[in-house]
Amino acid sequence: MKENEKDLFCSFCGKPQNLAKRLIASPDGNSFICDECVDICRDIIKEDKVTTVETTIDLPTPKQIKEKLDEYIVGQDEAKRVLSVAVYNHYKRINYNLVARKEKEEKDLSIELEKSNILMVGPTGSGKTLLARTLAKILKVPFASADATTLTEAGYVGDDVENILLKLIQNADYDIAKAQRGIIYVDEIDKIARKTQNVSITRDVSGEGVQQALLKIIESTVASVPPQGGRKHPHQEMLQIDTTNILFICGGAFVGLNDIIQKRMNDSSIGFNADVKTKVENSQINFVKHLQPQDLIKFGLIPEFVGRLPVVVGLNDLNENALIRILTEPKNSIIKQYKKMFKIDEVDLNFEPDAIRAVAQKALELKTGARGLRTILEGSMLELMYETPSDSQIQKITINADYINGKNPKPLVVRKQDSVSHEEVV
């Protein structure tokens, strides 16, 4: 019997039984597979997992999309309206093409509906990334974000543009069909502008070179993606993904773009019948409404890249009142999150209105927009979050402006053993 066991081997790799941890027999007992080959097969199936049955997306109307955005994002109403329409049209096109293919309506398919990718222009901390992520959540599609500053032209140190697609595939649990209808947000897109308007004798591998590399995946192509990321190798098996129905949203601050637009508008106002504007009037103009493709080209984006981002969305600077609303109104606002964290430790946390305003004012001073709100609060609340869990007698904490501004090192605290007459003023 032992001699027969020595003759058994894996039908896939040829490994004998005495070198394998386990050898699994087929139902007829004529073939075997070892544990290592089973693991390899499992990995291959995971990487090549494809959903063969495509279904239409449950698509809300533009008005419903905006209402959902309003629950999580404060302000930027015009931007939310433009985005709602653009995203609705994109996924309506996908649903229409899917139904038309199934019904083989050749007459309707003769009119090809092309996708419209989106460019968001707005200052840092104005909500560009949050808008893109929330749209993906509303539509229940995979989402991936990337920073354009980490990308380089193929063959140079840095990330290849195909790694963006890998993030989307991973977030879709390697379901290629699902990933092919996802949303990709590319931030800091203004940082890959050409460094100069003049022709350079050296390669602009992190500027124009990245724009050229992004062109093919932003439009429509079947891209080959390394399953483990990194660089491509000649003998490496690739994941194939069609980018035709992937919505690309690019965002950037585009510092200096206003000056380009203003100069063009002023130059076009020269003549006897020119509409002369004062500097004050110019400062009140919403420049994104007057944005032309030529302005983006002058900024440093190549014409082919600009042409693939036909929908332009402008986001405004956030003022003090907008930052206060961001702190308090959304479903997952930062203030509500802090209250919840302290409530878990059975402590009631309250913020006085002047404390919330102080946080907003600090964010304005730092010019970080909404992104800086959590940083400011984390710095102010660190000592409390360190001490409170160790003190079971704390019942209530009230934060005022003096504590936020560092004028008072301790907040107003009510302890469980204190009587009402001895409670600190809250």
pLDDT in tens, 44-64: 776 554 444 567 788 899 999
Tell me which DSSP letter residue 10 carries. -
Q: 3-state DSSP call for residue 225?
A: strand
CATH topology of domain 320-422: Helicase, Ruva Protein; domain 3 (1.10.8)
Of the ranges 92-101, 365-374, 413-422, which one carries the lowest mean pLDDT score?
413-422
Equal CATH topology for 62-314 and 320-422: no
The DSSP annotation for 75-90 comes to: S-HHHHHHHHHHHHHH
Please give the CATH architecture assigned to the domain spanning 62-314: 3-Layer(aba) Sandwich (3.40)
- Per-residue pLDDT, averaged over 10-15, amounts to 86
Alpha-carbon distance of 385 to 344, in angstroms, equals: 12
Q: What is the pLDDT of residues 184-194, one digit of tens each?
A: 999 989 888 87
Domain positions in the chain are 2-47, 62-314, 320-422
Q: Please, which residues have CB within 8 angstroms of residue 420's CB and are 6 or more apart in sequence?
A: none
pLDDT of 88 > 80? The answer is yes
- What's the pLDDT score for residue 423? 44
- Per-residue pLDDT, averaged over 116-131, amounts to 88
Phi and psi at 72, nearest 5°, equal -115, -20
- What's the pLDDT score for residue 410? 83
Residue 419 CB neighbours (<10 A): 6
pLDDT of 350 > 90? The answer is yes
- What's the pLDDT score for residue 411? 85
Report the DSSP pairing between strands 412-415 and 394-399.
Answer: antiparallel
Q: What is the pLDDT of residues 220-242, one digit of tens each?
A: 888 888 876 655 555 567 888 99
Structure tokens, 105: 């309506």
pLDDT of 152 > 80? The answer is no
Confirm if 388 and 348 have CB atoms less than 8 A apart.
no
Alpha-carbon distance of 220 to 242, in angstroms, equals: 7
pLDDT of 107 > 50? The answer is no
- Per-residue pLDDT, averaged over 202-206, amounts to 50
Q: Does residue 172 or residue 287 have the better pLDDT?
A: 172
Of the ranges 67-71, 80-84, 160-164, which one carries the lowest mean pLDDT score?
160-164
